[in-house]
Amino acid sequence: LHDALPILSNAGVSETDVIYITVKQDWDNGRAEYEVDFIAGGMEYEYEIDAASGNVISWEAESVYD
């Protein structure tokens, strides 16, 4: 979870707000990526992170109540 702290900051949530998190490595277009999914504050967040640089490739958030 410590490595995900910059992502949590990007989402505007704190570590104590997260009630569920998964991280898995994947390959897309010949590039290693991490897929990070977590739930915090009634929202579900999905991030794709470049494994080499740590840059956010894409992200989205939606209410868990939808």
* Alpha-carbon distance values, 3 to 7, 13, 19, 47 (Å): 8, 14, 16, 13
Note the pLDDT tens digit of each residue in 14-60. Answer: 888 999 889 999 999 899 999 999 999 999 999 999 999 988 999 99
**Whole-number pLDDT of residue 30:** 92
Do the beta carbons of residue 33 and residue 47 sit within 8 Å? no
Whether the per-residue pLDDT at 2 is higher than 70: the answer is no
**Whole-number pLDDT of residue 39:** 96
The pTM is what? 0.84
Whether the per-residue pLDDT at 3 is higher than 80: the answer is no
**Whole-number pLDDT of residue 38:** 95
